[in-house]
Amino acid sequence: MSDAGLAIIGGTGLTRLKDLEITRREVMHTPYGEPSGPLTYGRYHGHEVIFLPRHGAQHTIPPHQVNYRANLWALRNAGVDTVLAIAAVGGITAEMAPGVIAVPDQIIDYTWSRFHTFFEGDGNEGVTHVDMTYPYSQELRETLIAASRELGLGAVEQGTYAATQGPRLETAAEIDRLERDGCDLVGMTGMPETALARELELRYACCAVVANWAAGRSEGVITMDDIARNLETGMARVKRLLPEVISR
């Protein structure tokens, strides 16, 4: 992968990129407010990357309060053209077991009341409708998939991501509905991030890490302890995957 402009957005379970040799941090201000934190520049396994933890360095920003516009705007302003988004999710369908990593190819937006566009209709430009038929960069998805195959990580190579509002988890009935809609995974940050990346013409893909069976897909209730334990397994896979992705 070219060194020019690769960013990694870290999700829950990945607020720090171990092995990143940090060269500098830059506080950015954007017309949309402040990003989740300073952009962290560094060398990662020999390649230049910018890292940004979506929920802040201390994991204090809940999914509905992430300033997605500021994050993506800041990254693009820093010269980024490719964004690899890491995101913790719940698994709905059978192959999306806790600890699995997945590379979704579709997404459905169930979020509401988030700032979800850069096109506010307040400029001189005409009305803009970006194409979202294929919401993720196929090229970047293929890189992720090839890296996973090379390492034998068994990533699930497609799936539909349901983006829910959070911060609460879903009811069992809501998960049944998402499955009827064709969703395989459920997370709280995929939108508007994916759409905003498209509006900025960024190459964007998601590496989802299954933290838990979604509500009603296992016995009992979902505990934060279970999520933390499964995320550890999944993020260990991500940490093996990333250097291989970046070397391609």
Smallest gap from Cβ 222 to ligand HPA, in A, equals: 6
User: What is the rounded CA–CA span in Å between residue 154 and residue 219?
Assistant: 25
Binding site for ligand HPA (CB under 6 A): 88-90, 164, 169-170, 186-188, 211-212, 214
Decide: 30 and 77 in contact? Cβ < 8 Å.
Answer: yes
The alpha-helical segments, DSSP class H, found in 56-135 are 68-77
Work out how close the CB of 156 gets to ligand HPA at its nearest, in angstroms, rounded to a whole number. Answer: 15
- In sequence order, which residues have a C-beta less than 8 Å from that of residue 235 and are 6 or more positions away? 13, 14, 209
Q: Which is nearer to ligand HPA, 5 or 192 (CB)?
A: 192
Least CB distance from residue 167 to ligand HPA, whole Å?
9
Rounded to a whole number of angstroms, the distance between the first and last alpha carbons of the chain is: 5
Nearer to ligand HPA by Cβ, of 88 and 140: the residue is 88
For residues 126 and 140, give the distance between their C-alpha atoms in angstroms, rounded to a whole number: 30
From the CB of 160, what's the least distance to ligand HPA, in Å? Answer: 14
Task: Write the single-letter amino acid at 91.
Answer: G
Residue nearer to ligand HPA on the CB measure, 170 or 244: 170
Task: CB nearer to ligand HPA: give 140 or 209.
Answer: 209
Closest-approach residue to ligand HPA (CB): 90
